[in-house]
Amino acid sequence: MPLKLRKRNAAAKWWGTLVASSLSLALAEDPDTSHREWQAYNGDIGGTKYSSLSQINRSNVDQLELVWRFRVGDSVSGQTSTIQCNPIVVDGIMYLTTPGQKAVALNAATGEKIWQFDPYGGMRGGGKSRGFKYWKDGDKARLFYGVSHYHYCLDAKTGRPVETFGDKGKIDLREGLNTDGVLRYVSSRAPGVIYKDLIILGNRVGEGPHQGAPGHVRAYDVRTGERKWIFHTIPHPGEFGYETWSPDSYQKVGGTNPWGGLTLDKKRGIVYMATGSATYDHWGGDRIGDNLFANCILALNAETGERIWHFQAVRHDLWDFDLPAAPTLITAIKDGVEVPALAQPTKMGHMFVLHRETGEPIWGAEDRSVPISEIPGEYTSPTQPFPIKPPAYTKQSFTLDDVTDLSEESRQYVLKMLKDMNMKLGDMFMPPGAQPSIMLPQFNGGSEWPGAAFDPETRILYINSSNEAEWISMEKAELPNEVLLSELGEKIYQSICSNCHGFSTTKSVEGVNKPLPALRTVKDRLSEEQVRTIIEKGQGQMPSFASFAQVEKDGIIDFLFEKNNQEPISTEGLDLNFTGGIPWLSTGHHDLHDQNGYPVNKRPWGQLNALDMNTGDIKWQVPLGTYPELEAKGLPPTGTFNIGGPVVTAGGLIFIGATKDERFRAFDKETGEELWYYQMEGAGYATPATFEVDGRQYVVMAGGGGSILQTRSGDSYYCFALPE
């Protein structure tokens, strides 16, 4: 039985016991979706994360109990594995993924395993697969999901690959990207969408200066795996948008990829997506211009792949301000009339609300002047678009007034640190430069890949956000005439590895945060030989760096294993590949904390936000998450950095994990009041799902921990229901 840690007054008002009597356009235009199960990733093809179920509601959510717990069996201890899957439930069967990217089918009511598919054939695998697409034609039912650079097609009844699809049940996403024969890193974490007989896929690609693949969108035959169309997100000569890049950008620039997933308006035959930045993320002298279709909301003809419209949210991105989540299909009110729209969360804390058919901002947007880069050879757009409504739902600047007030000791510590580091403060679109500068929101948001939830009855949009600062600086890529191997390795880690693996920080004797690689524990888990093999061959969703020179590989090993070889090596004549020819490189994405490990800026450090799509206003904002040790001292919830999406129900509830404190929560969707939580043994860095089996409502949450937040790894899916 779960520990009931929070309960609402038993006399709470009864709410939502009747099934909603009508649904607005967002659901009416998707008649095939059952909102009594969870048949699609994020609830439905519009990504609303909404359920019409109301058996669990405001009056009884405090009675939820754990009815089953499924342990995945392949999590890795420490902070090295995670679960980001939003399970789907079809005809009483739940389909989920594990940290080792296995696909598993369970009895959704009992958690009993039906079958399991291991794409690595018993060998250790790893990565992030966020969910499935389900397709049925007569008695044929198929599941599609991504594993590393493959996209698999499985028989939903047996879990076996469908031999007639692609190459014995899978397609290789690296093929057909026109990368001069080089099979660069590509993967599909999000499952894409199915329109008629097409499965349409976005992808994740490398983000460093080295070997970035283009993020083109592709559609494949759902039966055979044959590619049917491709849309070049980095336009080729003669294509729309080509003039917004340097003439040869299409041959050497990567990224511009819809890695957060896709949504579909079946009635209109339009597939929607949001793209990331072009690579290299922090220097764009080789891609002069605004760079369409990077950082864009894109609407494509789902049948042909032709562009219908686009809206660019960031021009010539230098901040890694990817649009991280798929748009959510909603309805909004404009001039008293209900209109089909989409809502696009961002890392910046902007919510762009656009007309689904034209891409026009529902409540307008305006260009505002922003600072210009000081890096030689760089180009920055003099303006960036800002939505007029809704207002920003996260803090978008950092000044001395924003320094933490957690305690006077913490405040003085941070003020000294900022002075000692000569830190540059300012607004959100301040370009990275040679002087260290603070980014708020940081490079991971704002909002992240799980995206928003939409209630079609009330037209309220729910989105969680983080509010922590990081710092960045740029330095010339050139090396001195002599360098230590560990120094070379550190520079490679900064420019190639830290975008994914990040830096953690520790206090130095001078009282200034010192960057350390988040992979510093690799020496405790793997041998040098194993790490070298991973560098050369890749593993899971880490690409291969086989093209690195031997001295580059040696440098990474020396740095990660802290060998501290003091014999300098000459750089003269060395053919180094890690810079990719980029003259300026980032020193990495650096955490910024006080002496006790708390964020340097004022609270809240994480929020749950309710945005009213009837008016474009913020309805409410509440802290999301807590630090238990501060809570024990009597402090109210501070919020924490969070990654994981919300689910909203007709029962008046919002369910969400996401926080570093490893709690799974239920909130009152009308007021933002926290009604219940359950303490898991791993943080819920995923989106929950709710469904009905034989008249009983359940809600399931993955507690996988780990991830970029570096909390302990978890090993379980937790499923809850009311007592029978």
Please give the domain boundaries of the chain with CATH numbers for all domains.
191-325 (2.40.10.480), 478-578 (1.10.760.10)
Residues 207, 256: Cα–Cα separation, whole Å? 10
Helix (H/G/I), strand (E/B), else coil: 553: helix
144-154: average pLDDT: 96
Binned at pLDDT 50, 70 and 90, residue 184 comes out as confident
| % residues pLDDT > 90 (the chain) | 75
Residues 502, 444: Cα–Cα separation, whole Å? 11
Residues 598, 485: Cα–Cα separation, whole Å? 33
Q: For 442-502, where are the alpha helices, taking DSSP H only?
A: 485-492, 498-501
CA atoms within 13 A on the CB side of 442: 24
581-610: average pLDDT: 94
222-229: average pLDDT: 98
Identify the residue with better confidence: 594 or 539: 594
Q: Is the pTM of this model over 0.85?
A: yes
Residues 175, 168: Cα–Cα separation, whole Å? 16
Q: For 433-510, where are the alpha helices, taking DSSP H only?
A: 485-492, 498-501
Looking at the DSSP bridge assignments, the partners of residue 611 are 461, 618
Residues 6+ apart with CB under 8 A from 657: 644, 663, 664, 665, 680, 683, 684, 685, 686, 688, 701, 702, 703
Residues 402, 421: Cα–Cα separation, whole Å? 17
Instruction: Say if residue 14's pLDDT is above 50.
Output: no
Helix (H/G/I), strand (E/B), else coil: 518: helix
Identify the residue with better confidence: 535 or 633: 633
pLDDT computed for residue 8 by the predictor: 36
Binned at pLDDT 50, 70 and 90, residue 501 comes out as low
pLDDT tens profile 319-370? 999 999 999 999 999 999 999 999 999 999 999 999 999 999 999 999 999 9
3-state helix, strand, coil in the chain (%, to 5): 10, 35, 55
